């Protein structure tokens, strides 16, 4: 079964592929993304007020543009919610310091916003929303979160986004210091994907029955 992730972010695609392989060892899932579309694909403007709205927008748009035969499109939107900042950067996580911001620029902006804030007030969570779209429309929705704290300086070089600043108590270290396998055990993305497993199995069974 082919699942097209509505992204051109290779790090996100690798993570989703790795997680799905562990969650569905008995289902032959081929995970690809939109990099093959090259310059012909531009992501839609993320105008939703919630992660789930943006995820569905991406999934529907990618389906209309690519219309993969016999597969599904997975729309995903995720980001960081910092309690001291009243939930920011939230849906603006990828462009916290500007429309074309790099991970390093966003991390620097976050550290500046939390300058002088005590450890106990640096609580935060990663949130991920996912929507699966097929020929008949939406076939599944799911969300996942992981709680943590924002460090005062980056740690590690792994992951992407805010991972070097996100300390995960469940792992006892930053996501940036964690291996992919360690992160997959607790991450917001893994938990959201776990919620979609029944929908993927149903879609695969339907496809298999129609062969």
Identified catalytic residue from 77, 83, 163, 184:
77
Is 103 an annotated catalytic residue? no
Which residues partner with 138 through β-bridges?
133
Contacts of 95 (CB under 8 A, 6+ apart): 101, 106
Are residues 184 and 126 in contact, defined by beta-carbon separation less than 8 angstroms?
A: no
Strand order in the sheet with 2-5: 30-32, 2-5, 72-82, 123-134, 137-150, 166-168, 173-174
Tokens for 188, please give them: 């917001």
Q: 130-161 in b/e burial notation, b at 16+ Cβ within 10 A?
A: bbbbbeeeebbbbbbbbebbbbeebbeebbeb
SS3 at position 99: coil
Tokens for 134, please give them: 């097929």
Q: Which residues are catalytic?
A: 77
């Amino acid at each position: 079964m082919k699942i097209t992730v509505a992204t051109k972010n290779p790090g996100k695609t690798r993570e989703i592929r790795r997680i799905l392989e562990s969650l569905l060892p008995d289902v032959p899932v081929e995970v690809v993304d939109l990099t093959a579309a090259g310059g012909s694909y531009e992501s839609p403007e993320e105008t939703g007020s919630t992660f789930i709205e943006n995820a569905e927008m991406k999934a529907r748009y990618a389906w209309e543009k690519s219309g993969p035969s016999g597969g599904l499109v997975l729309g995903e939107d995720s980001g960081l919610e910092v309690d001291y900042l009243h939930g920011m950067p939230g849906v603006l996580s990828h462009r916290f310091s500007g429309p074309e911001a790099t991970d390093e620029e966003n991390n620097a902006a976050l550290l500046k916003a939390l300058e002088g804030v005590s450890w106990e007030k640096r609580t935060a969570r990663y949130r991920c929303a996912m929507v699966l779209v097929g020929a008949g429309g939406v076939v599944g929705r799911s969300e996942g979160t992981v709680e943590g704290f924002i460090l005062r300086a980056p740690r590690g070089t792994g992951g992407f986004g805010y991972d070097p600043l996100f300390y995960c108590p469940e792992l006892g270290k930053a996501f940036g210091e964690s291996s992919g396998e360690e992160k997959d055990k607790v991450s917001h993305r893994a938990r959201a994907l776990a919620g979609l497993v029944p929908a993927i199995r149903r879609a695969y069974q339907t496809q298999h029955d129609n062969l």
